[in-house]
Amino acid sequence: MKQQSEKSLRKEVIATALEMSRSGLSPGRAGNVSCRFGEGMLITPTGKHYEDTDPDDIVFVNEDGSVPEGQLKPSSEWHFHLAAYRVRPDRQALVHTHSLHATVLACAHKPIPAFHYMVGVAGGKDIPCVPYATYGTEELAQHVAVGLRDRDACLMANHGLIACGVSLAHALELAREVEVLAEQYYKLLVLGDVHVLDDAEMLKIVERFKGYGRNAELNQKCR
Helices 138-148 and 78-87, axial angle in degrees (round to 10): 30
Query: What CA–CA distance (Å, rounded) separates 1 from 7?
Result: 15
Is 39 annotated as catalytic? no
Helices 6-22 and 168-191, axial angle in degrees (round to 10): 20
Query: What CA–CA distance (Å, rounded) separates 166 from 209?
Result: 15
Query: What CA–CA distance (Å, rounded) separates 35 from 220?
Result: 19
Active site residue: 6, 69, 77, 138, which one? 77
Active site residues: 77
